[in-house]
Amino acid sequence: MEVVLIDRFTVPEESKATFLAEVRRSAAILRTLPGFVEGFVYENSGGASHNVVTTAAWKDEDAFQNARKKAAEEFQRIGFNPPEIMKRLNVEIERGVYHRSSY
């Protein structure tokens, strides 16, 4: 069964462009990892914050766990620190891990 990481971000309007650039930087690494199926960025703007949802699907639990480890190693190697970026940009996150199957 596929595993899907779904992150919901609340992004201040003034941070939107920088945040989306960082999301795409992260995605460029994730999509190279074994077992990656697909990923999407969803944007819904309105009000004082810009809401963004990202998804990353993995072929199974093993691929997901391996990707978490490999992504963390690569992020550390290149000095990419998502928690620090979100703090600097005043971005809030809600994270969920789901198992996906067809209807």
Backbone angles phi, psi at 76, to 5 degrees: -65, -40
Q: Are 96 and 19 in contact (CB under 8 A)?
A: no
Three-state SS string across the chain, please?
Answer: CEEEEEEEEEEEHHHHHHHHHHHHHHHHHHCCCCCEEEEEEEEEEECCEEEEEEEEEECCHHHHHHHHHHHHHHHHHHCCCHHHHHHHHCCEEEEEEEEECCC
**Which CATH number belongs to the domain containing residue 74 in this structure?**
3.30.70.100
Residue 94 pLDDT: 96
Say what the pTM is: 0.90
**Matching residue, tokens 């809600």:** 94
Read off the pLDDT of residues 23-58 as tens digits, 9 standing for 90 and up: 999 999 999 999 999 999 999 877 667 799 999 999
How many independent structural domains does the chain possess?
Answer: 1
Partners of residue 7 on adjacent β-strands: 54, 95
Read off the pLDDT of residues 74-96 as tens digits, 9 standing for 90 and up: 999 999 999 999 999 999 999 99
Containing structural domain, residue 23: 2-100
Task: Output the six-digit token pair for 43.
Answer: 């944007």
